[in-house]
Structure 1
Amino acid sequence: MNDINMIKQVAALPGMSIADLKSLWADLHTTEPPPYNRVFLVKRLAYRLQELSLGGLSATTEKRMERIVEEEKLPPQEKKRPPGEKLLPGTQLIREWQGVEHRCTVLNEGFEYQGREFNSLSALANFITGTKWNGNVFFALKKQGDKR
C-alpha cells in the first residue's frame, strides 16, 4: 500500500458504517473486531493502516515496552528507572524552601545552582537546607521512603 492510498483509507474511516469498520478490522487483523464503539475502531484502524504502510514501532521501542511490562510485575522496591527516563540536560528543577524559590539546571554530569556545580542532587539539597537530604526527595522526583 502506498502512502497516498493509506491517507485516503484513513480519511474515509470516520464515514464508514460499523459493519464496514468491523469488516475492515477482520481484513487487517487476525482477530475478531472488539465490541467497542465507532471512535475506538476508527482510531485503531487508522493506526493499523499507518503501521502497515509506514512500519510499526522500532525494535528499541518494543524492547522498552516489554521491559516496562516486566517491571510492573516486580514489587516496588525492585523497580529500576530505565536509562531513557533519566533527567535530560537543560531540565530545570524548582523547589520552594522556606519561602525562597530554588532553581537548578540539570547538566550532562551534575547540576548547576546559582553558578555553582554539584555532583548530585543530594549535595545540592544539603547545600540549600544545611541538613542531610535525599536530593530526589527534596526536588520531589520521588516520595520519601520510595526505594526507587
Structure 2
Amino acid sequence: MRVADQDSLDGSELVGQVSPLVLVAVDTTSNALVRTLFILAQHQNIQEKLRLGITEARIKRGDPAYEELASLRYLDAVWGETLRLHPPFFYLIRTTSADTMMPLSSPIKGFNGQETSEVLIPKNTTITISALESSCNPD
C-alpha cells in the first residue's frame, strides 16, 4: 500500500519517528520478552499450543533460523497480542507541523449542537497519543 505524497514522511521526519524506538529498543525488547513469558506462564493452554508448533517445526527442519521462526503464525500471534496488550511505550508525543483536520472515529456533537466528524488541530499543537488506549479500544 502506498501512502499519498502529502502524507508521507521526509527523511528528517522518519528519523524523528524511528529514533526514540531505537534508543529504547534494548529495554523494550527485554521487557516485552519477559511479559510474553509471564503471560505464557499464566496461560498453560497457549503455552502448550505454542510449544507444540515450535516442536513440530524443529522436527521438520531442525533448529529453525530466524526467518522460519518468524513464519510460525501462532508464535507471531502470541507475540503480536502481547505487544498489543502491553505496548513497549505507553504514549507518543508529537507536534503538528501544519494546521491539520483530524478525522474522528465517530461523530461528536459540538457546543453549538451540530455534529462533526473532524477537528481542526492548529500548527504547533502538542498531541499525546496513548498507545495502550488505541490498541485496546474495541472500536
Give the TM-score of the pair, scaled to structure 2.
0.22
Task: Compare the two structures and name the one with the higher helix fraction.
Answer: 2
The structure showing larger relative contact order (alpha-carbon pairs under 8 Å, at least 6 residues apart) is: 2
Structure richer in strand, relative to its length: 2
Larger Rg, first or second structure (1 or 2)? 1
